[in-house]
């Protein structure tokens, strides 16, 4: 998310409970390399073409025996600490620090020590008519031009890297790129906030993540460092489910908590359709005239910006020929590749230190080659990790060409199969449940006020027993089944309301004889311990996504349901690369709330940000799976 990982920025952890910490040094060896001993810090206020000055910290190697390339990160989360005598504890991962780069960190416009006005995801201007028309492409161009002329002992090459919001700035910075920019790595980049990144998924507002972010991320009246008395928002309870229920309708957030303090929050909430506010911020159409190598990175379990990396990769592939355009996806949470081992996420293990592998074998060789002329690491176009089977694979494109579309059909009696309903089946067959927005389905089975990174592969057994969740599953698989690419639900539904959400989850069910994790080697205690999570029967979330029904035909022009009328609700969830192993089952869960991950749908057609308590009503939801109305999920099966 724009909030979750500000590359190399220590203060991001203070923005909200769910935020990741800045990119940390990983190995003990990197911690032994003291930044102050090996680098000299400089601070500059670099003038842009319109006269605005951007605060920039530069760390240059003390060893001046040879020139170095620049490695730059632009961020809205502060380049702290400020002051020539105040040094960062780390600048990048161990490999980069030891190899030597001129590290550059810049506060973007209107943030912390930089002048100007901050604009959420500054819209790119394709055809500029004066120096007063600026965007992140021009600010980067002007910064690079200044650095080349004013920072000594540089080799003339520039790399750009950033995660989340800095990932957006990385992507935006290479449009009409300066010729000195030779390599860029947009990591978990925000690309289109309404269409699957951060703000809205399937037209449903991502409540907990955005509230947790915007209570802290607010406009600044004037340039300055983070206030010394900064305090986290106090929820008053560890139970976010109850906190947001007590808050009531979304409209209560402003008068009760924000109180006019954050127009950025107002923009996110008020623009609840795909209007011009969002369209001008969509970066995809503008990713052109890029002249550097691009390595886009994402994580299969990124709760915030899972869609963005695919969009950057696809847009660059379409618009910018003749450059290296690579995509890396691993089994990571938002930014997890930067500072975690990557050997597990919660209860799910991946068989190796995937984060270490990425940092040492992919990212570092990429920049060394393009910025220093080191040997070509021969990276493939797509370097992706297969979850379930726990293996890295190289492909010439993504999705793999040998992924064939097939449909997983919802069947009678909670069945799920690649075989459609028989011709003799009941043409009007359906399953139904009552959805009550005042008793919504939680998105995790434990108390939390933020969006835990673990939720993306969390055990779903807590939800499968609820009466307002439909469950479909295959028989135990007699062979491995590998799915690669997007997952596209095709549902036939009806509702007694005039609007409803249809949240779909694809789940890997572990067999009942699945071996338990190794027991703790700690000495046994005399007291009774807490129960452990049993992996036998574990229901691992592989992919889940909401879909607000009123957007079934258009995200720009929502339409109400006619109560009782059967309609199609079709949408596409982000890609996966997962093997359901022999003996496991494939499960699908369908529900109409996912709280407080998403805001509650009143199940009444209206402008939800203006909904009142009395607007929230129960509705009976039906999902059909008979002849002529065969609901299912279209998936890519690897042959």
Burial class (CB in 10 A: 0-12, 13-18, 19+), 520: exposed
The whole-number pLDDT of residue 6 equals: 35
User: What are 621's strand-pairing partners?
Assistant: 433, 495
The whole-number pLDDT of residue 523 equals: 52
Of the pLDDT bands very low, low, confident and very high (cuts 50, 70, 90), residue 19 is very low
Residue whose structure tokens are 């011709």? 423
The whole-number pLDDT of residue 151 equals: 98
The whole-number pLDDT of residue 507 equals: 98
d(CA 587, CA 542): 10
**Out of 133-147, 155-169, 221-235, 589-603, which region has the weakest mean confidence (pLDDT)?**
221-235
Of the pLDDT bands very low, low, confident and very high (cuts 50, 70, 90), residue 5 is very low
Count Cα neighbours of 97 within 13 Å in the Cβ-side half-sphere.
26
Q: What is the mean pLDDT of residues 544-551?
A: 98
In tens, the pLDDT along 412-471 reads 999 999 998 776 667 789 999 999 999 999 999 999 999 999 999 999 999 999 999 999
The whole-number pLDDT of residue 85 equals: 95
Of the pLDDT bands very low, low, confident and very high (cuts 50, 70, 90), residue 11 is very low
Q: What is the mean pLDDT of residues 66-82?
A: 97
pLDDT above 80: residue 299: yes
Domain boundaries, the chain: 10-192+281-395
Torsional class of 517: left (φ above 0), alpha (ψ -120 to 50), beta (otherwise): beta
Of the pLDDT bands very low, low, confident and very high (cuts 50, 70, 90), residue 14 is very low
Q: Among 497, 504, 490, which Cα is nearest to 621's?
A: 497
In tens, the pLDDT along 314-340 reads 999 999 889 999 999 999 999 999 989
- Joined tokens for residue 621: 């939801």
CB-based contact 164:333 (threshold 8 Å):
no
In tens, the pLDDT along 473-527 reads 999 999 999 999 999 999 999 999 999 999 999 999 999 999 987 644 455 557 7
The whole-number pLDDT of residue 229 equals: 76
**Out of 31-45, 96-110, 609-623, which region has the weakest mean confidence (pLDDT)?**
31-45
pLDDT above 90: residue 58: yes
The whole-number pLDDT of residue 9 equals: 33
Question: What's 613's DSSP letter?
Answer: G
pLDDT above 70 coverage of the chain, percent: 93
**Out of 216-225, 448-457, 586-595, 613-622, which region has the weakest mean confidence (pLDDT)?**
216-225
The whole-number pLDDT of residue 216 equals: 93
pLDDT above 50: residue 214: yes
Q: Is 223 helix (H, G, I), strand (E, B) or coil?
A: coil
**What homologous superfamily does CATH list for 10-192+281-395?**
Alpha/Beta hydrolase fold, catalytic domain (3.40.50.1820)
The whole-number pLDDT of residue 414 equals: 97
Mean pLDDT of the chain: 92
Compute CA distances 465 → 85, 460, 461, 470, whole Å. Answer: 58, 9, 7, 9
Q: What is the mean pLDDT of residues 80-99?
A: 94
pLDDT above 70: residue 3: no
Q: Which helix (H) or strand (E) holds 214?
A: helix 207-214
Of the pLDDT bands very low, low, confident and very high (cuts 50, 70, 90), residue 528 is confident
Q: What is the mean pLDDT of residues 292-309?
A: 97
């Amino acid at each position: 998310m724009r909030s979750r990982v500000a590359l190399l920025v220590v203060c991001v952890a203070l923005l909200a409970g769910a935020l990741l910490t800045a990119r940390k040094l990983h190995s003990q060896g990197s911690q032994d390399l003291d930044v102050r001993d090996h680098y000299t810090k400089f601070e500059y206020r670099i003038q842009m073409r319109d006269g605005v000055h951007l605060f920039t910290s530069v760390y240059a190697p003390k060893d001046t025996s040879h020139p170095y390339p620049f490695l730059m990160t632009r961020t809205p989360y502060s380049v702290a600490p400020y002051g020539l005598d105040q040094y960062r504890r780390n600048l990048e991962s161990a490999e980069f620090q030891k190899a030597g780069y001129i590290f550059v960190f810049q506060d973007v416009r209107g943030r912390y020590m930089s002048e100007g006005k901050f604009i959420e995801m500054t819209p790119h201007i394709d055809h500029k008519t004066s120096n007063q028309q600026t965007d992140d492409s021009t600010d980067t161009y002007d910064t690079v031009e200044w650095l080349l002329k004013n920072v000594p002992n540089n080799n003339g090459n520039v790399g750009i890297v950033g995660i989340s919001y800095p990932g957006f700035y990385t992507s935006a910075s290479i449009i009409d790129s300066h010729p000195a920019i030779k390599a860029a790595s947009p990591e978990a980049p925000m690309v289109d906030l309404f269409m699957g990144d951060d703000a809205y998924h399937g037209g449903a507002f991502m409540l907990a993540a955005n509230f947790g972010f915007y209570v802290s991320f607010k406009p600044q009246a004037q340039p300055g460092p983070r206030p010394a008395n900064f305090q986290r928002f106090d929820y008053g309870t560890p139970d976010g489910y109850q906190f947001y229920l007590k808050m009531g309708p979304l409209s209560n957030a402003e008068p009760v908590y924000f109180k006019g303090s954050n127009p950025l929050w107002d923009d996110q909430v008020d623009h609840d359709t795909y209007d011009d506010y969002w369209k001008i911020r969509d970066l995809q159409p503008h990713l052109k005239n890029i002249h550097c190598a691009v390595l886009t990175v994402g994580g299969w379990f990124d709760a915030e910006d899972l869609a963005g990396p695919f969009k950057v990769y696809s847009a660059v592939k379409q618009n910018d020929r003749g450059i290296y355009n690579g995509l890396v996806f691993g089994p990571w949470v938002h930014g997890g590749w930067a500072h975690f081992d990557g050997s597990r996420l919660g209860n799910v293990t991946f068989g190796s230190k995937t984060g270490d592998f990425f940092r040492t074998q992919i990212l570092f060789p990429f920049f060394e080659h393009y910025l220093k002329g080191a040997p070509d690491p021969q990276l493939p176009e797509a370097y992706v990790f297969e979850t379930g089977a726990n293996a890295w694979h190289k492909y010439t494109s993504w999705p793999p060409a040998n992924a064939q579309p097939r449909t997983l059909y919802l069947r009678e009696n909670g069945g799920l199969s690649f075989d459609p309903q028989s011709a003799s089946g009941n043409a009007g067959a359906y399953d139904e449940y009552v959805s009550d927005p005042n008793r919504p389905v939680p998105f995790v089975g434990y108390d939390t006020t933020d969006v835990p990174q673990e939720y993306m592969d969390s055990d779903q057994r807590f939800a499968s027993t609820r009466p307002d969740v439909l469950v479909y599953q295959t028989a135990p698989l007699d062979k491995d089944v590998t799915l690669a690419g997007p997952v596209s639900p095709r549902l036939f539904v009806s509702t007694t309301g005039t609007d409803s959400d249809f949240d779909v989850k694809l789940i890997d069910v572990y067999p009942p004889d699945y071996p338990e994790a190794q027991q703790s080697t700690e000495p046994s205690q005399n007291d009774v311990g807490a129960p452990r999570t049993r992996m036998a029967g574990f229901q691992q979330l592989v992919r889940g996504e909401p879909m607000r029904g009123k957007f079934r035909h258009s995200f720009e022009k929502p339409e109400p349901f006619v109560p009782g009328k059967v309609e199609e609700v079709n949408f596409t969830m982000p890609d996966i690369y997962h093997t359901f192993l022999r003996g496991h089952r494939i499960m699908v869960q369908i529900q109409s709330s996912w709280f407080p991950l998403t805001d509650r749908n009143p199940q009444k057609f209206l402008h939800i940000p203006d909904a009142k308590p009395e607007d929230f009503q129960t509705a009976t939801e039906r999902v059909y799976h008979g002849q002529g109305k065969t609901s299912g999920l279209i998936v890519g099966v690897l042959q």
